[in-house]
Amino acid sequence: MEYEAVIGLEVHVELKTASKAFCSCSTAFGAPPNTQVCPVCLGLPGVLPVINRQMVEFGIKTALALNCSIAPICKFDRKNYYYPDLPKNYQISQYDLPLARDGYLEIEVDGVKKRVGIIRVHMEEDAGKLIHGEEPGADYSLVDYNRAGVPLLEIVSAPDLRSPDEARAYMEKLKAILEYLEVSDCKMQEGSLRCDANVSVRPKGSTVFGTKTEVKNLNSFRALHRALSYEIERQISLLERGERIIQETRAWDEQRQVTYSLRSKEEAHDYRYFPEPDLVPLAIGEEWIERVRSTLPELPDARRERLIKDYGLPEYDARVITGSKALADYFEKAVSLFPDPKQVSNWLMGDFMRLLNAKGLEPQEAPVPPENLAELLKLQQEGTISIRIAKEVLEEMFATGRGAREIVEAKGLTQITDVAQLTAIVEKVLAAHPKVVEDYRKGKEKALGFLVGQVMKETRGKANPNLVNQLLKERL
Amino acid sequence: MELFYLSAHEAARLLQNKEISAVELTREILKRIEQVEDKVKAFVTLTPEKALEQAKAVDEARARGENLGPLAGVPMALKDNLCTEGIRTTCSSKMLENWIPPYDAFVVRKLREAGAILVGKCNMDEFAMGSSTENSRFFPTRNPWDLDRVPGGSSGGSAAAVAAGEAFFALGSDTGGSIRQPASFCGVVGLKPTYGRVSRYGLVAFASSLDQIGPLTRDVTDCALVLQAIAGHDPLDSTSADLPVPDYLAALRQDIKGLKIGVPKEYFGPGMDREVVSVVRQAIDRLSDLGAFCEETSLPHTEYALPAYYLVAPAEASSNLARYDGVAYGFRLPGKDVVDMYMKTRREGFGAEVKRRIMLGTYALSAGYYDAYYLKALKVRTLIRRDFDQAFEKYDVLVTPTSPTVAFRLGERVGDPLAMYMSDLCTIPVNMAGLPAISIPCGFAQGLPVGLQIIAKPFAEEILFRVAYTFEQATGNFRRWPEI
Ligand SMILES: [Zn+2]
Q: Which helix (H) or strand (E) holds A264?
A: strand A258-264
| A257 and A283 together in one domain | yes
Contact B239 A49 (CB under 8 A): no
Residue A63: predicted pLDDT: 98
Res. B331: pLDDT tops 80:
yes
State the virtual CA torsion across B238, B240, B244, B246 in degrees, nearest 10. Answer: -170
Give A231 to chain B, closest Cα distance, Å: 29
Which residue ranges in chain A fall short of pLDDT 50? none
- Both A322 and A178 in one domain: the answer is no
Mutating which of B238, B342, B366, B369 best tests the A interface, going by the most A Cβ atoms within 10 A? B238
Residues of A in contact with B316 (CB under 8 A): 274, 277
Mean pLDDT of B229-254: 97
Residues of B in contact with A80 (CB under 8 A): 318-319, 322, 365
Partner-chain contact B338 A84, CB within 8 Å = yes
Interface of A with B in 82-141 (CB under 8 A): 82, 84, 87-90, 141
| pLDDT at residue B477, rounded to an integer | 63
Catalytic, B199? Answer no
- The verdict on A198 and A103 lying in the same domain is yes
Beta carbons of A413 and A404 less than 8 angstroms apart: no
B202·A270 Cβ contact <8 A:
no
- Note whether B239 contacts A278, CB cutoff 8 Å: yes
What backbone torsions phi and psi does residue B425 show, to the nearest 5 degrees? Answer: -50, -40
Q: Pseudo-torsion of CA A118, A178, A67, A316, nearest 10°? A: -90
Cβ(A126)–Cβ(A85) under 8 Å?
no
Q: Which is the catalytic residue, given B79, B94, B110, B192? A: B79
Backbone φ and ψ for A276, nearest 5 degrees, come out as -65, 110
Q: Are residues A278 and A352 in the same domain?
A: no
Place B264 in a pLDDT band, splitting at 50, 70 and 90: very high
Note whether A455 and A308 are same-domain residues: no
Q: What number of other Cβ atoms are within 10 A of residue A205's Cβ?
A: 7
Q: Report the separation in Å between the CA atom of B204 and the middle of ligand 1, taken as the mean of its atom positions.
A: 17
A224 with A137, same domain: the answer is: yes
Nearest to B325 among A50, A82, A141 (CB): A82
Instruction: Kindly tell me the burial class for residue A85, based on how many C-beta atoms sit within 10 Å of its own C-beta (0-12, 13-18, 19 or more).
Output: middle
Query: What tens digit of pLDDT does each residue of B340-375 get?
Result: 999 999 999 999 999 999 999 999 999 888 999 999
Q: Which residues of A touch B374 (CB under 8 A)?
A: 274
Q: Are residues A56 and A200 in the same domain?
A: yes
Domain containing residue A461: CATH number: 1.10.10.410
pLDDT, one tens digit per residue, over B400-419 is 999 999 999 999 998 888 88
Q: In chain A, which residues have their Cβ closer than 8 Å to the Cβ of B91?
A: 45
- Give the DSSP H/E element, type plus range, for residue A318: helix A315-322
A143 touches chain B (CB under 8 A): yes
Q: Is B154 a catalytic residue?
A: yes
HEC letters along chain B:
CCHHHCCHHHHHHHHHCCCCCHHHHHHHHHHHHHHHHHHHCCEEEECHHHHHHHHHHHHHHHHCCCCCCCCCCCEEEEECCECECCECCCCCCHHHCCCCCCCCCHHHHHHHHHCCEEEEEECCCHHHCCCCCCCCCCCCCCECCECCECCCCCCHHHHHHHHCCCCCEEEEEECCCCCHHHHHHHCCEEEECCCCCECCCCECCCCCCCCEEEEEECCHHHHHHHHHHHECCCCCCCCCCCCCCCCCHHHCCCCCCCCEEEEEHHHHCCCCCHHHHHHHHHHHHHHHHCCCEEEEECCCCHHHHHHHHHHHHHHHHHHHHHHCCCCCCCCCCCCCCHHHHHHHHHHHHCCHHHHHHHHHHHHHHCCCCCHHHHHHHHHHHHHHHHHHHHHHHHCCEEEEECCCCCCCECCCCCCCHHHHHHCCCCCHHHHHHCCCEEEEEEEEECCEEEEEEEECCCCCHHHHHHHHHHHHHHCHHHCCCCCC
Same domain, A163 and A201: yes
**What residues are paired with B400 via a beta bridge?**
B453
Which of A291, A313, A343 is the last residue before a domain boundary?
A291
Total domains, chain A: 3
Q: Domains in chain B and their CATH numbers?
A: 3-258+398-478 (3.90.1300.10), 310-376 (no CATH)
Cα–Cα distance for residue pair A416/A409, rounded to 1 Å: 13
Q: Name which of B130, B164, B198, B173 is nearest B414 in CA terms.
A: B130
Residues A397 and A424 in one domain: no
Quick one: pLDDT at residue A211? 94
In this structure, are A203 and A318 located in the same domain? no
Domain shared by A122 and A189, yes or no: yes
**CA end-to-end span of chain B, whole Å?**
15
Lowest mean pLDDT among A362-376, A453-467, B234-248, B464-478: A453-467
Distance CA A41, CA A22 (A): 8
Show which of A266, A291, A316 is a domain's final residue.
A291
CB contacts of B322 in chain A (<8 Å) are: 80, 82, 88-90
**CA B218/CA B476 separation, integer angstroms:** 12
pLDDT tens for B117-141 read 999 999 999 999 999 999 999 999 9
Q: What's the pLDDT score for residue B234?
A: 98
pLDDT above 80: residue B216: yes
Distance of CA B74 to the CA centre of its chain: 19
Is A149 at the interface with chain B, CB within 8 A?
Answer: no
pLDDT at B294 over 90: yes
Pairwise CB contact (< 8 Å): B374 & A43: no
What pLDDT does residue A133 have?
85
Residues A279 and A398 in one domain: no
Domain of residue A389, residue span: 300-410
Confidence at residue A277, expressed as pLDDT on a 0 to 100 scale: 97
- Which residue, A233, A259, A291, sits at the end of a domain? A291
Query: CB of B349 within 8 A of CB of B95?
Result: yes
In degrees and rounded to multiples of 5, residue B292 shows phi and psi of: -80, 155
Max CA separation in chain A (angstroms): 95
**Listed residues: CB within 5 A of ion ligand 1:** A 23, 25, 38, 40-41
DSSP-derived secondary structure for A21-48: SSS--B--TTPPTTSS--TTTTT-TT--
**Cα-flanking dihedrals φ and ψ of residue B48, to 5°?**
-60, -40
Residues 6+ apart with CB under 8 A from A286: none
Using a CB–CB cutoff of 8 Å, tell me whether B350 touches chain A. Answer: no
